[in-house]
Structure 1
Amino acid sequence: MRCAYYDSGVCRSCTLIETAHDVQVADKQAHLEALLSEAIGERAGGIAWEAPLMSAEQGFRTKAKMVVGGTMDAPTIGILDDAGHGVDLRGCPLYPEPLAASFPVLARFVQVARLEPYDVPARRGELKNVIVTLAPNGELMARLVLRSTEALTRIQKHLPWLLDELPSLAVVTANILPEHKAVVEGEREIVLTERASLAMEMGEVVLHLRPQSFFQTNTAIARELYAQVAGWVDDAAPTTVWDLYCGVGGFALHCLAGGRAVVGVEVSEQAIESARLSAEELGRAGREGADDAVFVAADATAWALAQELVPDVVIVNPPRRGIGAELAGWLEASGAGTVVYSSCNAVTLAKDLAAMPSLRPVRGRLLDMFPHTSHYEAVVLLQRG
């Protein structure tokens, strides 16, 4: 992939862009296998590795977290330079056309609604970031990250203009981030449209994505990841499945088959609301019986440790920090026959697997979730004994 921003030195976020895509993925596979071999020794030799799942080289990112800089009359949508000034990246080739087409309209909305971009060095202004997500059906969700609610009245006044100019925009929210710190969004979310979620069509399952719910940035690879895990779960033929760190319920809802009961656990209330809505649409919610999905808003570790019964299969999909010693210790001692571990950080994956010596890794796959960077997704199937 060629990128004018990279070639000119304007943006160097894609650190591996000069390396051929297939070489990038081969190097990541070697890195993953080396980490696991170092952490778990000969157990790593028993993994049957499937061929890495390759992403498209460009146009694959379906979620954009863009910093707003410049001025009200000449806003930038992109990143900040080393001095904290806005750098416009509206033409970044990582984004598919329907998503990229929203950037100029959102920039124009800054002018129309008179939204002052936040000046990081001066610590003044209102609009910090725009976060835009593209659904498979072409609909968009735009979140305006603001320092306060000062501009909220103007945003609401001019929102009809934005919706007319960008008909694919289905959800608009204001996220309030008053603190001056290096985070993308705040805790408070104000929904400004009638709809509050995007429908993410993932084959037979439709996942409802609310503003503060986590979802993979590469939807095409996420769809394949869900299918991969569902296939492994089907092979295990369980009657009970737990999906810990379930997010909006992607793994749980894809594993509903064969008369099994599934429980998803996630700390985010918004994500659990989304998962329950998806389950209701599938007719699989709330009965705690076979062919049913129950979703619980709770800390995954605390919830698991409090249960008396142990499921046949446990799926874990933790954040970068991994599952940690406490949950790894519980899984090791639990007697659960099958564990599926999906990870965005192979370092913590390796550490966690080392803490579960009774669970033998038997299958694995690398997913090219983040081309042109050193990051990747990996999924490992573990069986007891």
Structure 2
Amino acid sequence: MDCSYFDAGRCRSCSLMGQPYERQLADKQRHAEDLLRAHDGLDWLAPIGSREDGYRNKAKMVIGGTTAAPTIGILDADGHGINLEACGICSPGHRAAFPVIAAFITRAGLTPYDVPSRTGELKHLILTESPDGELMIRFVVRSTEPVGRIRKHLPWLLEQLPNARVVTANVLPEHKAVLEGEHEIVFTENETLPMRLGDVTMHLRPQSFFQTNTEIAEALYIEARDWVRGLAPDSAWDLYSGVGGFALHIADAAASVTGIETSVEAVASAELSRTDAALSRVRFESGDATAFALGAETAPDLVIVNPPRRGIGRELSGWLEASDVRHVLYSSCNASSLARDLEAMPSLRPVRGRVFDMFPQTTHFEVMVLLERV
């Protein structure tokens, strides 16, 4: 894949841009194998590759420029906006919506936030597209001051983008390097975006995390379902469960499934999906994964972990090592922290692994391994 923004030096976010995709995928597989080379008997399945372009279902863009001429993209070193409306890794739905949203910013009189002077209102645009082509549009603003204008001009936006299902304003008053704040104002009747992955539909709320690459996420969850069916556990925990991707997909493979997630919004999304699918054997709770495990009276047959980049850490690794959990399914977006966590669980031996290329054109990828107690 080639990118004019990368070639011109305007954006270097995709560090592998221009490299043959076959080499990217092979290098990621080699990197995962090197990090886990100490584990004898680990059977590596062929890596799952992605489309090279148009794969992102979520675009997290900085708004720059002026009200009359807004930019949707990133900021340069001086805090000035760089327009990336034709970004090739964003979905076609994103690229079609960006010009309309830029026109809406002008029509509604939304002033882009200027980082150097700390003035203005509109900070970010977070745009998510579902597999069915519906959009969730979130405007991240400094205060509620522009909310009235967004609401006033919303009918025009919905007329121009009839596939916009959810439109919100997220309030982020602090001047700091974060993407969104805690307060969300929903303007539309619909508050969730259905994300249909095969026979499972997850209902995504505005502040809920969802995997960036829909097609690879579906492949990941289906693979996990197949592996778990082969284990036939009586009970399973899905720690760091997010919106319930793993738990919902393995619902028919275990007698009971419990999902644990710190984000209240994500738990609400997961519960809605569980109710919609009438899955009585699945439940979700809001809480810390490590604290939940350490406070449990009994351990399940299977534990699924899908932690952030830092990994599960020594405390949870130590609990898993000392427990009588028979199998662990570990899905990681950082193979280095995965390798470190595995060192702390020598009684749980990796027996199967697979790389899922969630992030083409970058060095990042997802890797899933199945551990069994020795």
1:119 aligns with 2:108: no
- Aligned counterpart, 2:358: 369
Deviations, residues 313-334 of structure 1 (Å, cap 9, x unaligned): 1000001111011111111111
Tell me which amino acid in the other structure corresponds to 1:205: V
Structure 1 alignment gaps of length 5 or more:
286-291
Secondary structure of 1:46's match?
coil
Equivalent residue runs for 1:180-329 within 5 Å: 180-258=175-253, 260-285=255-280, 292-329=281-318
Tell me which amino acid in the other structure corresponds to 1:25: L
Secondary structure of 1:301's match?
helix
- Aligned counterpart, 2:82: 87
Cα 1:224/1:259, change in 2 over 3 Å: closer
Extract structure 1 runs of 4+ deviating beyond 3 A.
none
Shift of 1:105: 0.8
| Distance in 2 between residues matched to 1:124 and 1:241, nearest whole Å | 49
**Which of 152, 156, 162 in structure 1 is aligned with 2:157?**
162
1:26 aligns with 2:26: yes
The root-mean-square deviation of aligned C-alpha atoms, in Å, is 0.9
| Distance in 1 between residues matched to 2:40 and 2:356, nearest whole Å | 20
| Distance in 1 between residues matched to 2:63 and 2:56, nearest whole Å | 19
- Aligned counterpart, 1:100: 95
- Aligned counterpart, 1:17: 17
Tell me which amino acid in the other structure corresponds to 1:141: M
| Distance in 2 between residues matched to 1:379 and 1:303, nearest whole Å | 23
Shift of 1:97: 1.3
Shift of 1:7: 1.3
| Distance in 2 between residues matched to 1:238 and 1:258, nearest whole Å | 7
Shift of 1:259: 5.7
1:352 aligns with 2:347: no
**Any conservation in 1 of the 2:232–2:254 contact (CA below 8 Å)?**
no
Equivalent residue runs for 1:28-107 within 5 Å: 28-37=28-37, 41=38, 44-107=39-102
Secondary structure of 1:190's match?
strand
Secondary structure of 2:36's match?
helix
Deviations, residues 218-253 of structure 1 (Å, cap 9, x unaligned): 000000000011111111111111100000011001
- Aligned counterpart, 2:321: 332
Deviations, residues 250-291 of structure 1 (Å, cap 9, x unaligned): 100100115611100001111111111111111114xxxxxx
Tell me which amino acid in the other structure corresponds to 2:261: E
1:128 aligns with 2:134: no
Normalising to structure 1: TM-score of the pair? 0.96
Shift of 1:45: 2.6
Shift of 1:34: 1.3
| Distance in 2 between residues matched to 1:340 and 1:219, nearest whole Å | 20
- Aligned counterpart, 1:288: none
Structure 2 alignment gaps of length 5 or more:
none
- Aligned counterpart, 1:289: none
Deviations, residues 138-179 of structure 1 (Å, cap 9, x unaligned): 100011000111101111111111111110000011111111
Normalising to structure 2: TM-score of the pair? 0.99
Deviations, residues 93-115 of structure 1 (Å, cap 9, x unaligned): 11221121110111011101000
| Distance in 2 between residues matched to 1:213 and 1:281, nearest whole Å | 17
Equivalenced residue count is: 374
**Any conservation in 1 of the 2:236–2:254 contact (CA below 8 Å)?**
no
